[in-house]
Structure 1
Amino acid sequence: MASFRKRNDKWEYRIKYIDPVSGKKREKSKGNFRTKKEAQIAASEVELNIDNDFFEKNDSITVEEYLDIWFNIYKHTIKESSWKSRQDSIKAIKKRIGKIQIKKINLSFYQNFINQMGEHYARNTLIAIHQVFSMMMKQAVRDQYFKVNPIVEAKLPREKYTETEKEDIEYWEKEDLNLFLNCLRDKNQEKELTLFLLLAFSGLRIGEAICLKWDDIDFESATLNVNKTLFQKKGLRNEYVLTEPKSQSSKRKVPIPPQVIKQLKSWRHHQNQLKMKNRSDYTDLNFIFSDKTGHPTPARNFGYKLNTYAKKAGVSKITPHGLRHTYTALLIEAEIDVKEIQLRLGHASIKTTLDVYAHISKDKQIKSIKQFNDFAAHIF
């Protein structure tokens, strides 16, 4: 609603409204009209534009402010686990250029920014940052801050490799895996033994494993169905949701060897005893790796146990994802075809499989060269 006042024989209008982009209260005013009628006509035109969303843009809005506006729209269109994974990228962008006005973003500025980020962040992190910024800029075009997207031609800097660079791929040789699993058996850690044995011989992601239910296992055909993953809010025991797997290719049927089938049956018997012991508090939701209440055991609990018993077994520390790479190493050693490895791991792209395959194969090649050289040294 417009208001009018007379100042020094001239009329002025003042209009208060809510900016549909930022949701903030805004105000537009203009004066120097000869008559009140002229001010009313001008004000009615502005109000009509506001009603039709032809709003006055906040030209001083910063990247930090607009990121928040975009994110509040974006987060309602995807799964919680997906939008939460974007928060680290948002923090990184805000830290570097959060105070810059969005209208100052052009191709040169952004290319320089993403090049600098490439000096400080791993490749996958850099890709995630670029994806977030690109989505934000598409929204900025829709909100008429730009006629065309100024960063559409931006390119990620080339990946740099050095001889000393350590790739983030860790795994156990079969001897270390054997030591670890036997340590768990000796310490009567039935549930942990079952989970870690399963991870090492199926290649499941930890989120896929901890939400498995008993009807996902086909004991007759010795296979398991991967059809969901678990997202746990801040690692809280009862704050979780079952979601679709990481990608369509993540939905898969995985063969599991006899020792895993045998251990699953042993754990099911042990779990039934625990159900009876805790029946007053136990809700049977059919989860294989349930806690004493029947809900899925948090992934971080298993991460802690993995570190604890790796130390007891005298082997190097490893993450649950490292057991997925261990499975890949075992498949390579068993001379399984790389395409079959891709299917078992549920990789959407063969490139992902080949990257892991190449790294592990290289390690094994280096080891075999050393073994042969040691052997040959005793001949001549």
Structure 2
Amino acid sequence: MKSEVIVHKDRKVIKKTKNSGEISYSLKGAYLGIDEMTGKQVTTTITARTLKELERNLIASKLNFEKNGCTKKERVQIDSFEDLTELWFKSFQTWVTSENTLNRVRGYLDTYIIPQFGDFKPDKIIASDIQLWVNRLATNAKSSVATGKKRSNKGKAKDFGATVHKLSDIFDFGITNFGLKDNPARTVKIPPKPKSNKERVKVLHDEDLTKWLKYLESLPETRGNRRFKIICDSLLCSALRINELLALTISDLDFENHELRVSKTLLWKAANKKLGIKGKVICKSTPKTDAGFRSVPVPLNILQDLKAFHDEMNLYFEKLSLDKSKLIFPTIYGHYMCDRNERTTLKKRLVEAGLPDYGFHIFRHTHASIMLNAGANWKELQVRMGHKSITTTMDAYAELAPKKKNEAVAIYLDKIAELSA
């Protein structure tokens, strides 16, 4: 290759001629302008196959520099509110570690915010647009609550206030990062959250619990039924949350102290259709709250049943030449087990037993009821339940000790009789 310096329009240009005869031109140090962000001169190298093309490329580079705001610093262009929302959520993911929170907020975006404002230009959305939208959400939520359904239909949830707060966060993000002038969501008045009739805590009292235990014993002897029975029995005696139980490994069984060690929980990581990511179960290396770190005393036979099922699954893996698992309740592929399928089975079997179709939390509530009726104090129950505050325990389970309520009347009558004698 041959290189030579030529002068073209008072500029030094490098002319390169390949052995094949092909020619190219390079203009080094081409001046584009002053960077508005740094105050420094910006230069670049322009290449072309002809001198005329070199001139056109130089002009195009200068125009692109001006179009980018006269800076070489990277600037993200947003054309719609959906673009701004997605950039905000990408940033939000770096601030929040809870998958449950991320899933909930993603639901706000996909169900409410993007369908309503996604196509708008961010600076064209005004407060009255948002206020009318919020009022409509409140009306929908109120009508949904009036039906008495346990779960709201899509788009009619009661937490519309949280959705508006997230909308406001997105506008603030736009002000900080993309030069938006104001946040129209700040002046919006959020209507009161509709109140539904407070349901009593779901629990199996003595008669129903007896019926359930007999039903469990009647199930055919299969591996699936053994797993189901061990899960139910373990939840009932420990008050663990279902995903705390499914996260247990063999090292969490403490045979010396007859305890289950709780230090983690399973979560559902939602799918992302845009990125082609499927939803999956993941293990969070901490429990739901700091107070969730605990060791829960349980009967020895429960520990033995858990270990026996762990051994049974590893024997299954060994026969199929698969890697052994540390999990107590792995799938047949050795992965974390999703509680959804087992929850469906539970509801079906509760109905078969003539009981209300509650979820796995029924065993947690029932455990609390048994403890309180047996005379356990609130602090002891708080620790077993893994609650951060004893107020949470008392607010949730104050209604679960009907025997104790009756005892209160008897104590009063005995005292009055003593004083009247």
TM-score in same-fold range (> 0.5) = yes
AA aligned to 1:330 is I
Distance in 1 of aligned mates of 2:316 and 2:304: 19
Deviation at 1:212, TM superposition (A): 0.4
1:332-347 aligned within 5 A: 332-347=372-387
Distance in 1 of aligned mates of 2:139 and 2:380: 36
Q: Give the SS at the match of 1:85.
A: helix
CA 1:110 to 1:340, structure 2 compared with 1: closer, same or farther past 3 Å? farther
Matched, 1:66 2:100: no
TM-score (norm. length: structure 1): 0.68
1:216-295 aligned within 5 A: 216-232=252-268, 239-245=280-286, 247-258=288-299, 261-281=300-320, 282-295=322-335
- Whether the aligned pair in 2 keeps the contact of 1:118 and 1:157 (CA below 8 Å) is yes
CA 1:40 to 1:194, structure 2 compared with 1: closer, same or farther past 3 Å? closer
TM-score (norm. length: structure 2): 0.62
1:74-153 aligned within 5 A: 74-75=92-93, 78-79=96-97, 81-82=99-100, 83-93=102-112, 94-105=114-125, 109-110=129-130, 113-121=133-141, 125-126=159-160, 128-130=162-164, 132-147=166-181, 149-152=183-186
Q: Give the SS at the match of 1:180.
A: helix
1:297-336 aligned within 5 A: 297-336=337-376
Q: Please, what is the CA RMSD of the aligned residues?
A: 4.2
- Whether the aligned pair in 2 keeps the contact of 1:328 and 1:357 (CA below 8 Å) is yes
- Whether the aligned pair in 2 keeps the contact of 1:247 and 1:348 (CA below 8 Å) is no
Distance in 2 of aligned mates of 1:151 and 1:351: 34
1:186-219 CA-to-partner distances (Å, cap 9, x unmatched) read 3243221221122223222222111101211222
Distance in 1 of aligned mates of 2:139 and 2:392: 23
CA 1:132 to 1:297, structure 2 compared with 1: closer, same or farther past 3 Å? same
AA aligned to 2:173 is Q
- Aligned residue for 1:9? none
Residue segments in structure 2 that go unaligned for 5+ positions in a row: 1-31, 33-55, 142-151, 272-277, 411-421
- Aligned residue for 1:215? 251
CA 1:341 to 1:113, structure 2 compared with 1: closer, same or farther past 3 Å? farther
Matched, 1:49 2:67: no
- Whether the aligned pair in 2 keeps the contact of 1:214 and 1:286 (CA below 8 Å) is yes
CA 1:139 to 1:48, structure 2 compared with 1: closer, same or farther past 3 Å? closer
Residue segments in structure 1 that go unaligned for 5+ positions in a row: 1-14, 16-35, 373-380
Matched, 1:201 2:237: yes
Q: Which has the higher contact order (CA 8 A, sep 6+)?
A: 1
CA 1:218 to 1:41, structure 2 compared with 1: closer, same or farther past 3 Å? closer
Equivalences, count: 324
Bigger-Rg structure (1/2): 2
- Whether the aligned pair in 2 keeps the contact of 1:283 and 1:293 (CA below 8 Å) is no
CA 1:142 to 1:310, structure 2 compared with 1: closer, same or farther past 3 Å? same
Q: Give the SS at the match of 2:356.
A: coil
Identity, in percent, stands at: 22
Distance in 1 of aligned mates of 2:238 and 2:137: 36
Q: Give the SS at the match of 2:319.
A: coil
AA aligned to 1:103 is D
CA 1:68 to 1:317, structure 2 compared with 1: closer, same or farther past 3 Å? same
- Aligned residue for 1:183? 215
1:300-325 CA-to-partner distances (Å, cap 9, x unmatched) read 23213212321332211111233333
CA 1:102 to 1:333, structure 2 compared with 1: closer, same or farther past 3 Å? farther
